[in-house]
Amino acid sequence: MRLTPATVERERDWVRDRTAVVGLINETRAALGEAFETEVGSVTEPDYRTEVERVFADGDVAVNAAALIALLRGLDVEDDYPGFVVDEFLGRELAATIASTRGRAYSLLAEATFHYADIHAHGTPEEAAGADDLDAALAAGFQTRLPGWAWTEGDSPFAVE
């Protein structure tokens, strides 16, 4: 794989246009909100697209996200199961990378959320094995970054002055 600015731009465009992920983001948020007994704001396609632009505006994050996206888009393993570990690893890392500009705590939260979103992501038989993990990673990473969680609005009550 060769990564260039053109490659990063191509992957950004692909992610920006993959608006089906918005449904998975909202499905994941609704399930997590129910599990944690809290209201979570939903995400719109424009919210998602704006956040994709923000992620890819940070060149250091963009190049790493683009590499992980390209790997997952092309990842297919005969009989799928032997590839289960690698697509899970790549998906978790992509979710963390997307959330990374908000800090390490958000990266860890995105990794944990990836597994939850992955349960709800379903690829089609025509897609490579990594496709559903890619969608789950995008959903987990972006849902972690985007507003809608009350506890992320405002300053932390644990900050010491």
Check if the beta carbon of residue 24 is closer than 8 Å to that of residue 139: yes
Average pLDDT for residues 90-109, to the nearest whole number? 92
pLDDT tens, residue by residue, 4-29: 999 999 999 999 999 999 999 999 99
| Structure confidence by residue, pLDDT tens digits, 106-120 | 999 999 999 888 887
* pLDDT of amino acid 126: 58
What are the residues whose beta carbons fall under 8 Å from the beta carbon of 136, sequence distance 6 or more?
A: 24, 91, 95, 114, 117, 118, 120, 121
Over its C-alpha atoms, the chain yields an Rg (Å, rounded) of 15
pTM value is 0.90
Residue 87 has what pLDDT?
Answer: 84
Q: Distance between CA 151 and CA 131 in Å, rounded?
A: 31
pLDDT tens-digit map of 117-131? 888 776 655 555 667
pLDDT at 154 over 80: no
- 66-76 pLDDT tens trace: 999 999 888 87
The per-residue pLDDT for 132 is: 80
Residue 86 — pLDDT band, cuts 50, 70, 90?
Answer: confident
Q: Look at 157 and 65; give whichever has higher pLDDT.
A: 65
Residues in the chain, how many? Answer: 161
